[in-house]
Chains A and B, each alone.
Chain A
């Protein structure tokens, strides 16, 4: 089976190379038969990569310890799901997953755009060039099918890093890579448009839709990563600005900025160069993020790999690919200039431009903070750490500004907003924001610090804008079409899913930011208790009952039992664990979490002491649940935007045919 995988990898590389050549020749000559060859090469490469990843999964599932990869990432004690998850537990497998998912996207693009677009040969060439690079790395540098010398084959393996043995880790990496790799498609369309000079509408429509899907997966991946950190790492938080977290967050920022600014290009035919910059930047950061996590350049919780020249090759590839893209963009800049100019600072365009800058500002902060230790080590020989406080301090005001713009953007008119329309649009939301601020101050008094006040007030402001938008649109439909409220709502979501789905996404973001703002009230303490003793935490009390050994499996350790009372009433039994993974010789603290809408009680068993007492770390984390609620809302909203329905296609076609109407539409928009 491992031989099959090995050959599949070799053949995938050959097919990808052949496809690149066919794509380039088809692009230069315009020959349809060569384009067809390139398209089929995409599918063939995909088939071989699927075969390879399937073979690797088979080897892991059947304990083929001849393979170095299997012996390093798998063990007999592991259940089947985790053995399969070990496919992406190490270097070669992760890269294979990368290629495999990117080829799913490429194949889908090859299928969906199978008719008549002059861009396609170049799109295939770019996508397969990308796959070629990764396949070359897998084939020659990090081959998961490498066999151990016969004398070194053992009957059991080293096992998977215990921190990864968690259900969320089965899907988190897949989601993240579905995000990362998916951005290769918009990148390829943009690059193809730049290469051919066909900078009309085709690439724009394609890239916007192809950005939405990976952006959706990346968002889920980031949220799941936070959830995993919260439930597994046992330090009481969900986000630590770890370089690998940052690596997943960085491409999300320009991608989100692009999804906003692309609307300006559609409606007002502006910002074309900027949008191409964002598409390139997004993909550059995806590659760079993969580089950060895979090369071990920054040692961190997630980086399980340390490699030599692998890193340099990777960095060189990122540099060359991105430089070529920006050089092309620079060469074509003359043909991308817009005839329209910004007419007023108080307009939707201006608010979107500002929104883009804020995203770029956050990106600059995260990028600088992530790379600072590396740069300082390179320049001065000492590694200087940048702690979470740097990121929080710098990002919080930017996030507040962004939240403000989330409310403002949709309400300001295109081109130029009149004072009267501003009053009409902002009276209610502004009053809601002010009311929330007053209510919060009254309820919490002196314990309320600046940031929660700002975020809650802005949150109420944004929620009010969304409610107002929905209410006005529903009422208009009820009057004009005589629909019931629910019927009107359904029509809205069907007819303008991007706009009204987008509002739901915004609502999710508000919830997430409110959840994060709860961190200002976080409270933690370390307690040492004997059996029978109680700890009081506000209106909770925790009684330490006993500790028991964990039933023997591939890890051992102890689980403490704690009775949780609230206002004297028993509410739950909490059971934090202190595990020892025998094979990996790695301890892990698994927290026990009691979660309500108001707050989480998060208990870690730090140690069982020699005198029979237990040392417990207790975190009280207000509002954390809202992050996950916001996450679900976000996903739901994004699904509303993405949901395919038959009315969408003809509308878009009509729009692109009659281009001047875009401006007309833009004028009539704000009152909708």
Chain B
């Protein structure tokens, strides 16, 4: 067997190993998640499954509860200037006092979390976007 083939076999083995490693790990770390608009999320409502929902913070809805260490706000499908704010708002509870710099009344946000029994969205991550860019508050810990 030529050295070239030996190396090719070795490389194939390494590649297979890595492929297997990727396949077994990616499910667990749940990297791939969809963005849905609030309307899509409403219509597709899949119970308490983890979701990533896009919307706008309803003006006047942000409450910082320092005692309970949580922030409550509501998310609406359309930006406030398009009207209809407040109707069909999704109440959100975020169990942290930390929000991205851009998080504000009317800000465009993506919330990660799930719907609880009382139809309140329990967010475990909130990302805010200023008109041209998303700024994630990167709380995800490095995995090694």
Please give the residue numbers on chain A whose beta carbons come within 8 Å of chain B beta carbons, in ascending order: 234-237, 240, 296, 299-301, 303-304, 306, 341-345, 350, 353-354, 357, 361, 382-390, 392-394, 396-398, 449, 451-452, 517, 519-520, 522, 524, 526, 528, 586-589, 606-607, 609-611, 613, 615, 617
Contacts and interface: CB of A to CB of B under 8 A. Distances in A.
Contact of B137 (A235, A343, A394): A235
Interface stretch (B6-14, B77-85, B115-123): B6-14
Contacts of B141: 519, 522, 524
30 contacts: A234-B101, A235-B138, A300-B134, A301-B133, A345-B10, A354-B7, A361-B18, A388-B140, A388-B142, A389-B142, A390-B29, A392-B143, A393-B22, A393-B25, A393-B29, A393-B144, A394-B18, A394-B22, A451-B144, A517-B144, A519-B144, A520-B142, A520-B144, A524-B141, A526-B97, A528-B97, A607-B98, A609-B66, A610-B64, A615-B98
Contact of A588 (B4, B34, B101, B143): B101
A390 B27 CA distance: 10
Given A304-B132, A606-B99, 4 more contacts: A235-B137, A240-B138, A387-B31, A397-B18
Contacts of A341: 2-4
A343 B7 CA distance: 11
A519 B143 CA distance: 8
B130 A586 contact: yes
B43 to A, nearest CB: 15
Contacts, number: 129
A269 B34 CA distance: 50
A304 B132 CA distance: 7
Contact of A306 (B22, B29, B132): B132
Interface in B85-114: 96-99, 101-102
B35 A385 contact: yes
Interface in B37-76: 52, 64, 66, 69
Contacts of B3: 341-345, 350
Contact of B35 (A240, A382, A389): A382
A617 B139 CA distance: 11
Given A301-B133, A341-B4, A397-B21, A382 B34 contact: yes
A526 B98 CA distance: 8
A interface, over-half SS: mixed
Given A300-B133, A342-B4, A390 B98 contact: no
A617 B98 contact: yes
Contacts of B34: 382, 384
Contacts of A382: 34-35
Nearest to B21: A397
Contacts of A588: 101
B31 A299 contact: no
B33 to A, nearest CB: 6
A300 B138 CA distance: 13
Contacts of B25: 393
A393 B6 CA distance: 28
B68 to A, nearest CB: 11
Nearest to B29: A389
B97 A615 contact: yes
B132 A519 contact: no
Contact of B97 (A387, A524, A606): A606
A519 B141 CA distance: 8
Given A382-B34, A607-B64, A519 B4 contact: no
A610 B35 CA distance: 34
Contact of B140 (A389, A449, A451, A517): A389
Contact of B143 (A343, A389, A524, A609): A389
Nearest to A384: B32
A303 B131 CA distance: 12
Contacts of A357: 11, 14
B133 A587 contact: no
Contact of B96 (A240, A526, A586): A526
A606 B25 CA distance: 33
B127 to A, nearest CB: 10
Contacts of A613: 66
Nearest to B96: A526
A609 B35 CA distance: 32
B31 A396 contact: no
Given A345-B6, A385-B33, A390 B26 contact: yes
Contacts of B11: 357
A353 B6 CA distance: 13
Contacts of A345: 3, 6-7, 10
A299 B97 CA distance: 26
A393 B27 CA distance: 12
Contacts of A617: 98
A390 B136 CA distance: 16
A13 to B, nearest CB: 29
Contacts of B130: 586
B78 to A, nearest CB: 19
Nearest to A372: B32
Given A394-B22, A520-B142, A386 B97 contact: no
Residue with the greatest number of chain B CB neighbours at <10 A, chosen from A296, A354, A393, A452? A393
Nearest to B104: A587
Contacts of A342: 3-4, 7
A259 B22 CA distance: 29
Contacts of B142: 237, 388-389, 392, 519-520, 522
Nearest to B3: A342
A325 to B, nearest CB: 25
A279 to B, nearest CB: 22
A390 B31 contact: yes
Contacts of A301: 133, 135
A236 B139 CA distance: 9
Given A306-B132, A341-B3, A587 B101 contact: yes
Q: 4 smallest A-B Cβ distances: which pairs?
A: A451-B144, A519-B142, A390-B31, A342-B3
A345 B5 CA distance: 10
B101 to A, nearest CB: 4
A388 B141 CA distance: 9
B86 to A, nearest CB: 24
